[in-house]
Structure 1
Amino acid sequence: MGTISSRARADGSIGYTAQIRLKERGVVVFTEARTFDRRPAAQAWLDKRERELAQPGARESVKQEDPPLGDVIDRYIRESKRDLGRTKKQVLGAIKAAPIGELRCSQLKSQSYVTFAQNLEVQPQTVENYLSHLSPVVTIARPAWGYPIDEKEFADARVVLKRLGQVGKSKQRDRRPTADELDRILRHYADMEQRERAEIPMQKIIVFAMFSTRRQEEITTIEWRDYERDRVLVRDMKHPGQKVGNDTWCDLPTEAARVIEAMPKGSGPIFPFNHRSISASFTRACSFLAIEDLHFHDLRHEGTSRLFEMGLNIPHVAAVTGHRTWNSLKRYTHLRQTGDRWAKWKWLDIIAPLQEHS
């Protein structure tokens, strides 16, 4: 009645899915599955459920498939052909582990979702992210698998949470680094290099990030073969509907190209470092220097706004940043002047001196 199958996950670990299927006259009338990190745990759950279903009247009560929400989440992850991404899997895993994950489909009411959201004790935009990741699971559960989830209950819960102000979109940041802040940060890393305490060439990476408008995870994936002086190939560029295989050629401002030319030549990544280490180093530097509320991603914001301030039109800016729509691009535009505020910037000459090409 029950089987256990193993499957490699995206992170390289192995998941063990225990599945029970009940048939009547050759037709499946009930299926239930759970995924575990260890085979013995999967076997223990399988044995327990088989004993429960062997009890008198148990099969009659489960003929209509009505699994817990946690099982529905498992099936969604297991059967999805899309790369769901690390963040979405983590969020769905948290929902599965919460009390709501133990409720069966028919038990899920608007109050269930509202209670779950209120117990998260996080910012409204984070609650919105949780519900957005759960939404496709609720939406397809009934039409795809026949599970008795009422989509209207979920929709009602979102209305309630919105009216209570407990969900909301992320606030758009307008933070841009000042010339003084970048000067202090780059001098900080210069001091670290002099003391031989710098493992990552943060000066070059910071300057490249600002002028290229590239995200930190994109910077570390660009290889020498992807560089053509006036453009670079950004692999798996972030995109809400296509997280893998979205390779995009982006125009490269001359200042960013100068930084690349100043890097040691090789055959692999131009910046062969972990993007999380880059972000963590930048955060530590800002904390040490008492620079408040400045994120590494704000360098992309600065670089994008700079291009508009220099007079580039929307298509030209998008060719550099990789944005596909004006709605996604305009959140980075907080113009403060006209012209190039970084023209003749001393740090560019220090970090990436001009080179003559034959």
Structure 2
Amino acid sequence: MVARYRDDRLDSVSGDSVRRELTILRHCLTLAKREWDAPLSVNPVLSVTLPAPSRARDQRLEADAGRRLRAAIGPAHAWYLLPLLELAIETGMRRGELLALLWSNVSLGNRTAHLPITKNGHPRTIALTPKAIEVLKALPQTEARVIPVSGNAVRLAWERLRERASLPNLRFHDLRHEAVSRFFEAGLTVPEVALMSGHRDTRMLMRYTHLRPEAIAEKLARASEGCFTA
């Protein structure tokens, strides 16, 4: 039954989604056996092969793609698209975190934003870049939430924006990959980037990091110049 479920689900969702679902089922059955004396001689999920994990996405927001996205946002389109785009890149926050952000948790004076509820259940406070502060200052503070729109509205608006910009494969979540990569390129350490992104597993943080070789080459060139002049 578990194997049939796996195969049926693979017809409609990704292998990673099936892996997550079976992991939850495995945990439930293990708990049932250990804590509730369920009559299970063996956990059936352990007897099937999980789908192979997909390759980590390495797509970043190239300069041309960024220009096309911004150019595709006209005055007649959703007002929140541009600030969402900018804040996602500048903060590394997830879409849900951006939409849940409250003005009461933003301190422009301290240049921080506090996220009491996050995907992994651990609250975090992130540092705001000068660009992020500029974007926030331009937004009206008329409601409790910084961007008072629904997740479904953002999803639909983003899909239309991708279409107008001819970027069908760009996901909103790719902006988080872009942000994490930029943090490292700016010289932040692993603990500092983890503080911003909320990653508690360094291996997962590395999956979000896609450094540009040319940026590393520039950094090496600057370091070489310093050694030479010294």
TM-score, normalising length: structure 1: 0.55
* Aligned-partner residue type, residue 97 of structure 2: E
Task: State yes or no: 1:210 paired with 2:71.
Answer: no
Count of residue pairs brought into register by the alignment: 212
The aligned residue for residue 146 of structure 1 is 37
SS across alignment from 2:114: strand
Query: Contact 1:222–1:235 at 8 Å: present in 2 too?
Result: no
1: CA distance, partners of 2:181 / 2:57: 13
Q: Report which of the two has the higher share of strand.
A: 1
CA deviations 1:274-331 (Å, max 9, x no partner) are 1232232112211233213100111111111011112211122222222223122111
Distance verdict in 2 for CA 1:232–1:170, change over 3 Å: same
Distance verdict in 2 for CA 1:212–1:151, change over 3 Å: same
Query: Contact 2:60–2:178 at 8 Å: present in 1 too?
Result: yes
Distance verdict in 2 for CA 1:267–1:273, change over 3 Å: closer
CA deviations 1:105-158 (Å, max 9, x no partner) are xxxxxxx3222222332443232122112112210222222221233443122x
The aligned residue for residue 226 of structure 1 is 105
The aligned residue for residue 225 of structure 2 is none
SS across alignment from 1:151: coil
CA deviations 1:180-205 (Å, max 9, x no partner) are 1111111111x2x1xxx324321121
Task: State yes or no: 1:338 paired with 2:215.
Answer: yes
Distance verdict in 2 for CA 1:267–1:152, change over 3 Å: closer
SS across alignment from 1:232: strand
Identity among equivalent positions (%) equals 25
Q: Report which of the two has the higher share of helix.
A: 2
2: CA distance, partners of 1:267 / 1:285: 25
Pick one of 118, 142, 148 that aligns with 1:237: 118
Distance verdict in 2 for CA 1:318–1:126, change over 3 Å: closer
* Aligned-partner residue type, residue 338 of structure 1: A
Pick one of 127, 131, 145 that aligns with 1:269: 145
SS across alignment from 1:198: coil
The aligned residue for residue 180 of structure 1 is 64
CA deviations 1:10-35 (Å, max 9, x no partner) are xxxxxxxxxxxxxxxxxxxxxxxxxx
1: CA distance, partners of 2:105 / 2:136: 12
Query: Contact 1:220–1:275 at 8 Å: present in 2 too?
Result: yes
Distance verdict in 2 for CA 1:250–1:114, change over 3 Å: same
2: CA distance, partners of 1:145 / 1:315: 40
1: CA distance, partners of 2:28 / 2:43: 14
Q: Is there any run of 5+ residues in structure 2 with no aligned partner, and where?
A: 217-230
2: CA distance, partners of 1:201 / 1:333: 27
Distance verdict in 2 for CA 1:201–1:116, change over 3 Å: closer
1: CA distance, partners of 2:164 / 2:176: 22
SS across alignment from 1:266: coil
SS across alignment from 1:237: coil
1: CA distance, partners of 2:38 / 2:91: 48
TM-score, normalising length: structure 2: 0.84
Query: Contact 2:25–2:45 at 8 Å: present in 1 too?
Result: no
The aligned residue for residue 117 of structure 1 is 6
RMSD of equivalent CA atoms: 2.0
2: CA distance, partners of 1:142 / 1:318: 36
Query: Contact 1:211–1:253 at 8 Å: present in 2 too?
Result: yes
